[in-house]
């Protein structure tokens, strides 16, 4: 399940990066920074990414998740800080939802 979520996130980042063309987003790994640190995407792109991942999860697991989070915009604990954190967060949301 975790691998599948990683793939959904990777695909969403790849799609986003077709437009952004950021070097650091070219090869997505668990360590890839997404949002809130020195590198990464802006809040507009984050929203697009989250929407794509929500749609991908709904399609793959037939479960609706809303990836809203209290800590979303505070960088240190943000579930969007990197791909690994985001993957764990989606997994937790999915478990909550089912």
Asked if 27 interacts with other proteins (CB under 8 A), we say: no
Q: Which tokens in the block code for residue 79?
A: 């579930």
* Count of chain residues binding other proteins (CB under 8 A): 13
Asked if 73 interacts with other proteins (CB under 8 A), we say: no
Asked if 14 interacts with other proteins (CB under 8 A), we say: no
- Which is closer to other proteins, CB of 5 or CB of 53? 53
Asked if 18 interacts with other proteins (CB under 8 A), we say: no
Q: Which tokens in the block code for residue 41?
A: 């995407």
Asked if 19 interacts with other proteins (CB under 8 A), we say: no
Least spacing, CB of residue 51 vs other proteins, in Å: 4
Q: What is the 8-class DSSP label of residue 82?
A: B
Alpha carbon distance 64, 93 (integer Å): 9
Q: What is the DSSP string of 27-80?
A: S--TT-B-SSSSSS--HHHHHHHHHHHHHHHHHHHS-------TTTTSTTT-TT
Binding site for other proteins (CB under 8 A): 44, 47-48, 50-52, 54-55, 58, 64, 66, 68, 97
């Amino acid at each position: 399940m975790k691998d599948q979520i990683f793939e959904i996130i990777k695909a969403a980042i790849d799609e986003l990066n077709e437009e952004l063309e950021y070097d650091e987003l070219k090869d997505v790994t668990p360590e890839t920074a997404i949002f809130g640190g020195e590198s990464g995407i802006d809040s507009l792109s984050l929203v697009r990414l989250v929407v794509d991942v929500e749609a991908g999860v709904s399609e793959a697991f037939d479960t609706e998740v809303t990836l809203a989070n209290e800590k979303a915009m505070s960088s240190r604990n943000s579930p969007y800080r990197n791909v690994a954190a985001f993957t764990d967060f989606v997994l937790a949301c999915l478990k909550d939802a089912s």
